[in-house]
Chain A
């Protein structure tokens, strides 16, 4: 059994990163030119990593499946990005951001990584402002902040409701500058379908050109995966339609451990499902909870009534009631579960009874409609467009939806996976958010990884590669990987069954949502595992894909992704079954306190579950990285 070595540097927490940076091996500029790095993904993590490594002088190849790097899923992030700037003078600090993130993650993340993230947060804002990101400002011309869930300071920077867009455009422009300079070569509309491992080291990828259908080999001294999260395993989620696990899953099958796959974030404020053909769910940014109040009627009988006719005393502002200290700003997992409970009690509203109100009337009374419009105008119009209701007049209806995956490829302090030379950054890795991510922390992590962490840590590996010379793509390992990719595409095309890819995807999503969603139990998880196995078997004998592999074939692309989701789904259930405790987004119904809150089991489960592929999807091996908390005391998370 391989031991998991986190490579956390020695020394006091606050000095670890500084010490590491001053000691890490460097690659001299003239040597960097001789080193090739592949970055798969052009979201915040990938674009920032590729641009920065290009600036440093490496030869970078960057890949994305969209038609332009600017369209990565990061573009859709709305609410904001955290940083410990303490511009508001409200007592914020690097330590506090570190502490909030560890606590928010329910004590299931690595202290050293999280502290480094908090340190980097400060530089991110400077970098982005210098790139021209038009962050919101006060009349005095200085940067504005807002609050997000799970914290008591105001540290979130934002650009209206389009923070992800503006940050990504910043990273995309830095990337474009390097493309123009010739240090980065960009491959749009390319999908990575395998990692190539030569003599135990990641040495390249096999990619499919999604326009011509050609299968290409790309070699490099190191490969970085920045391929985002796998929330679409649930079919319905707030992720973009193309978000997928394929790159990470292929890496897993080539030896990279997959950590905490069951840690999924269900976001409390999304527009509820309206019909059977729904293709995705739309998030309403958490920032709305700054000014919106969540409620349901006190009595079931009132649920069908016009909300405006329900008197104040007949409303249950349940978050304010149960969690007076944080009120509507409790962390996401807590808010989501509370919504589920009130709906399960029969007090949900809307067509399906699976929705709660998010009401802005008191904020509008207090601040005026103009202020609310300035803060959330685009979100309100997005809501109105989808539901045909005016949220300035009628309370919004919201319900939790799958949003983010804390789990991902296991990485050490250097962001290296268990395969030497293979790195994972951004949402694709498991690193910093433990069992629950706080709002506005994913953008921070993606950019910290890409701008400020990976470009240093990868030097520690690449400094050993300066004499390797060019990596040839003629090695038998490339032949083999290419052949496997081609065979699999042919296999998929040859089935010619009767069910569409979407049909399988929806069926998988339903199993996952019902049995591995907001609440899980052992029996349901066991059922889910056998249902997924049966579905997978049917998929490989009955899926229908038209056409061939020679040009653009969207069904073929989707089929490859769903095939991987069908394997990942099982691993998620196995992981959820292994973890006999409730923590963060992982809520096991058997493990709760008398008050119904999550009951963590620190004695037995203070570890990262890192799964090794066992040759077949149903035979994974579990490895544990014990988490050591030297600086924070493990406490029951209380937001009361």
Chain B
């Protein structure tokens, strides 16, 4: 297969950046999208040029490192699929493929397609945990948890923290990410004790990192590789209202 690759090149955080276009030949339809970039990079290196920098690690859709717009869509055309799990058979021979880094105020570009997502870590640090020190736990079977409830928590816990939800949102809101974490913990009995505090402080961190407000367009869910449900956002909003009411009373 043959492609024309139009990719964002930016030499550092301060560089303005621009698109570069490269022709690419000899791509197999069984190759993954990142293997296609590997081939492009090997070609660039043979010409003694700087290869395209991008984040990746596991290449099996679980670490959340890979992060790019492919033809305008975060993670590209396939539903529920990260960039690294995308295969070239999803494209047509001769296509032009445009690749860009996440665009969001809270995710500044480091180089080419690599961005800084440490804002997500800081949101988790604000309350995305259950406060239990090592060694303090009771027997794991002491609290039975309804299977359906546990499944629902798991559905939220599978978020890989990739940031596609933010990248797809016109307000750069991270509500899908945030609500997934809050739901995972607040649904479970272990997480109840801190539920209100968690919602309040994580919301505050979200806003102060420069993520925008949620206007319920659902664009985030459409691109989320783990299909995190919008009901998590609804649940978060309910809990947030509840939590701010009680904190006012206090």
Instruction: Encode B52-87 as 1/0 by CB contact (under 8 A) with A.
Output: 010111111111110000000000000001000101
B50 / chain A contacts, CB cutoff of 8 Å: 546-547
Please determine whether A127 and B62 come into contact, CB atoms closer than 8 angstroms.
no
Q: Which of A51, A125, A173 meets B134, CB within 8 Å?
A: A51
Q: Which residue of B lies closest to A552 (CB)?
A: B111
Which residues, 131 to 185 on B, are CB-close (under 8 Å) to A?
Answer: 131-141, 143-147, 150-151, 153-154, 157-158, 160-161, 184-185
- A174 touching B45 in the complex, CB below 8 Å, given contacts A71-B64, A125-B140, A134-B150: no
Please determine whether A166 and B157 come into contact, CB atoms closer than 8 angstroms.
yes
Please determine whether B132 and A71 come into contact, CB atoms closer than 8 angstroms.
no
Which residues, 266 to 319 on A, are CB-close (under 8 Å) to B?
Answer: 274-275, 277-280, 282
Please determine whether A177 and B110 come into contact, CB atoms closer than 8 angstroms.
no
Q: Smallest distance from the beta carbon of B171 to chain A beta carbons, Å? A: 23
Please determine whether A129 and B137 come into contact, CB atoms closer than 8 angstroms.
yes
Please determine whether B85 and A68 come into contact, CB atoms closer than 8 angstroms.
no
* Interface residue tally for chain B (C-beta within 8 Å): 76
Q: Which of A85, A140, A502 meets B42, CB within 8 Å?
A: A502
Q: Which residues of A contact B (CB under 8 A)?
A: 48, 51-52, 55, 66-71, 73, 75-76, 85, 87, 123, 125-132, 134-143, 159-160, 162, 164-166, 169, 172-174, 176-177, 179-180, 186, 188, 211, 240-242, 274-275, 277-280, 282, 382, 385-386, 388, 451-452, 455, 500, 502-503, 544, 546-547, 551-552, 554-555
- Complex alpha-carbon distance, A483 and B78, angstroms: 48
Q: Which residue of A lies closest to B28 (CB)?
A: A275
- Complex alpha-carbon distance, A129 and B125, angstroms: 20
**B24 CB-CB contact with A under 8 Å:** no
B42 / chain A contacts, CB cutoff of 8 Å: 500, 502-503
**B247 CB-CB contact with A under 8 Å:** no
A547 / chain B contacts, CB cutoff of 8 Å: 50
A164 / chain B contacts, CB cutoff of 8 Å: 62
**B237 CB-CB contact with A under 8 Å:** no
Please determine whether A176 and B60 come into contact, CB atoms closer than 8 angstroms.
no
Please determine whether A241 and B134 come into contact, CB atoms closer than 8 angstroms.
no
Q: Which residue of B lies closest to A55 (CB)?
A: B133
Pairs A–B under 8 Å by Cβ, sample size 21: A66-B63, A69-B121, A71-B63, A73-B58, A85-B140, A87-B141, A125-B140, A126-B139, A129-B140, A130-B137, A134-B184, A174-B129, A275-B30, A279-B32, A388-B89, A451-B134, A500-B42, A502-B42, A503-B42, A546-B50, A554-B51
- A241 touching B57 in the complex, CB below 8 Å, given contacts A76-B62, A126-B137, A132-B188: yes
In the complex, the 10 A-B pairs of residues with the closest C-beta atoms, listed nearest first: A141-B144, A173-B129, A130-B137, A129-B140, A126-B137, A134-B154, A180-B125, A240-B57, A52-B134, A177-B129
- Complex alpha-carbon distance, A169 and B121, angstroms: 12
**B16 CB-CB contact with A under 8 Å:** no
**B94 CB-CB contact with A under 8 Å:** no
Q: Smallest distance from the beta carbon of B40 to chain A beta carbons, Å? A: 11
Q: Which residue of A lies closest to B124 (CB)?
A: A176
Please determine whether B56 and A241 come into contact, CB atoms closer than 8 angstroms.
yes
- Complex alpha-carbon distance, A129 and B158, angstroms: 16
**B25 CB-CB contact with A under 8 Å:** no
Would you call the interface of chain B mostly helix, strand, loop, or mixed? loop
Q: Which residues of B contact A (CB under 8 A)?
A: 11-12, 28, 30-32, 34-35, 38-39, 42, 45-46, 48-51, 53, 55-65, 81, 85, 87, 89, 110-111, 114, 116-118, 120-121, 124-126, 128-141, 143-147, 150-151, 153-154, 157-158, 160-161, 184-185, 188, 190-191
Please determine whether A130 and B132 come into contact, CB atoms closer than 8 angstroms.
yes
Q: Which residue of A lies closest to B30 (CB)?
A: A274
Q: Which residue of B lies closest to A498 (CB)?
A: B46
Please determine whether B51 and A240 come into contact, CB atoms closer than 8 angstroms.
no
- Complex alpha-carbon distance, A135 and B133, angstroms: 19
Please determine whether A180 and B126 come into contact, CB atoms closer than 8 angstroms.
yes
- A141 touching B134 in the complex, CB below 8 Å, given contacts A240-B63, A241-B59: no
Q: Smallest distance from the beta carbon of B27 to chain A beta carbons, Å? A: 9
Q: Smallest distance from the beta carbon of A544 to chain B beta carbons, Å? A: 6
- Complex alpha-carbon distance, A169 and B64, angstroms: 12
**Residue with the highest number of chain B CB atoms closer than 10 Å, among A135, A142, A173:** A173
Please determine whether A132 and B51 come into contact, CB atoms closer than 8 angstroms.
no
A76 / chain B contacts, CB cutoff of 8 Å: 58, 60, 62-63
Q: Which of B28, B137, B146, B147 meets A277, CB within 8 Å?
A: B28
Please determine whether A176 and B35 come into contact, CB atoms closer than 8 angstroms.
no
A555 / chain B contacts, CB cutoff of 8 Å: 45, 51
B146 / chain A contacts, CB cutoff of 8 Å: 137, 141
B190 / chain A contacts, CB cutoff of 8 Å: 129-132
Q: Smallest distance from the beta carbon of B37 to chain A beta carbons, Å? A: 10
Q: Which residue of A lies closest to B48 (CB)?
A: A546
Please determine whether B45 and A173 come into contact, CB atoms closer than 8 angstroms.
no
Please determine whether B53 and A552 come into contact, CB atoms closer than 8 angstroms.
yes
- Complex alpha-carbon distance, A166 and B157, angstroms: 7
- Complex alpha-carbon distance, A72 and B66, angstroms: 13
B184 / chain A contacts, CB cutoff of 8 Å: 132, 134
- Complex alpha-carbon distance, A275 and B35, angstroms: 11
Interface contacts beyond A70-B161, A136-B150: sample of 13 additional A-B pairs, CB < 8 Å, sorted by A: A55-B134, A67-B117, A134-B154, A135-B150, A174-B132, A177-B131, A277-B38, A280-B60, A282-B60, A451-B134, A502-B42, A547-B50, A555-B51
A177 / chain B contacts, CB cutoff of 8 Å: 125, 129, 131
- Complex alpha-carbon distance, A137 and B143, angstroms: 12
- Complex alpha-carbon distance, A85 and B137, angstroms: 15
- A176 touching B128 in the complex, CB below 8 Å, given contacts A67-B118, A129-B137: yes
Q: Which residue of B lies closest to A210 (CB)?
A: B110
- A385 touching B87 in the complex, CB below 8 Å, given contacts A134-B154, A172-B124, A552-B114: yes
Please determine whether B140 and A67 come into contact, CB atoms closer than 8 angstroms.
no
B139 / chain A contacts, CB cutoff of 8 Å: 126
Please determine whether B120 and A68 come into contact, CB atoms closer than 8 angstroms.
yes
Q: Which of B49, B81, B160 meets A385, CB within 8 Å?
A: B81
- Complex alpha-carbon distance, A280 and B35, angstroms: 9
Please determine whether A142 and B158 come into contact, CB atoms closer than 8 angstroms.
no
A130 / chain B contacts, CB cutoff of 8 Å: 130, 132, 136-138, 140, 190
Q: Which of B56, B65, B111 meets A551, CB within 8 Å?
A: B111
Q: Smallest distance from the beta carbon of B205 to chain A beta carbons, Å? A: 10
B137 / chain A contacts, CB cutoff of 8 Å: 123, 126-127, 129-130
B147 / chain A contacts, CB cutoff of 8 Å: 137-139, 141
Please determine whether A71 and B65 come into contact, CB atoms closer than 8 angstroms.
yes
B51 / chain A contacts, CB cutoff of 8 Å: 546, 554-555
B53 / chain A contacts, CB cutoff of 8 Å: 552, 554
- Complex alpha-carbon distance, A591 and B136, angstroms: 49
- Complex alpha-carbon distance, A169 and B158, angstroms: 10
Q: Which of B48, B124, B128 meets A544, CB within 8 Å?
A: B48
B153 / chain A contacts, CB cutoff of 8 Å: 132, 134
B30 / chain A contacts, CB cutoff of 8 Å: 274-275
Please determine whether B31 and A165 come into contact, CB atoms closer than 8 angstroms.
no
Q: Which of B85, B89, B145 meets A141, CB within 8 Å?
A: B145
